[in-house]
C-alpha cells in the first residue's frame, strides 16, 4: 500500500491488516473490466477527469501492480495450436516409419552383437 494511501485510510504500512496486503488474482479480461470501471467511477462519481485519464493511460500491468492484483493468465501465454485430424494421422505415420527404422537398426545391432558373442565363444572353446 502506498504511503499516501495508507495515511489517507488511517493506517500505516505496519498496522495494515494482513488481508489488505494479500494479492487478489484476476484474469486479464477481469482486470481490464475492473480498470474500465475504475476509470468510469473516477470520472463520473469523483469528477476527476485528469485522474481518470491517468488510470486509462496506465498499462494493465502497472495498474495490477499498483492495485496489488496478480494476473493469472498474463499476456504472452499462448495456447497450443489444435492440430487437425489429417495432421495427427500424418504425424502417426511419420512416427510409425521412424519406429520401424529404429527397430531395423536395433535388429542389425543385435545380429552384430550375436556374431561377436559366437566368435568369443569359439575362441574360449579352443583354449
Task: Encode burial over 34-61: b for 16+ CB neighbours within 10 A, e otherwise.
Answer: bbeebbeebbeeeeeeeebeebeebeee
Confidence (pLDDT) at 1: 44
What would the pLDDT profile of 68-123 be if each residue is shown by its tens digit?
888 887 666 566 777 899 999 999 999 999 999 999 999 999 999 887 777 666 65
3 versus 101: the higher-pLDDT residue is 101
Q: How far is CA 122 from CA 62, 71, 75, in A?
A: 78, 72, 69
Mean pLDDT, the chain, rounded, equals 80
Amino acid at each position: 500500500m502506498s504511503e499516501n494511501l495508507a495515511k489517507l485510510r488511517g493506517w500505516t504500512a505496519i498496522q495494515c491488516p494482513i488481508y489488505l496486503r494479500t494479492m487478489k488474482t484476476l484474469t486479464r479480461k477481469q482486470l481490464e473490466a475492473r480498470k474500465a470501471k475504475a476509470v468510469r467511477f473516477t470520472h463520473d462519481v469523483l469528477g476527476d477527469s485528469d485522474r481518470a485519464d491517468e488510470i486509462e493511460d496506465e498499462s494493465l500491468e502497472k495498474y495490477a501492480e499498483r492495485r496489488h492484483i496478480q494476473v493469472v493468465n498474463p499476456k504472452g501465454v499462448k495456447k497450443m495450436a489444435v492440430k487437425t485430424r489429417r495432421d495427427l494421422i500424418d504425424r502417426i505415420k511419420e512416427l510409425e516409419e521412424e519406429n520401424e527404422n529404429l527397430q531395423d537398426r536395433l535388429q542389425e545391432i543385435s545380429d552384430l552383437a550375436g556374431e561377436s558373442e559366437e566368435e568369443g565363444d569359439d575362441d574360449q572353446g579352443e583354449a
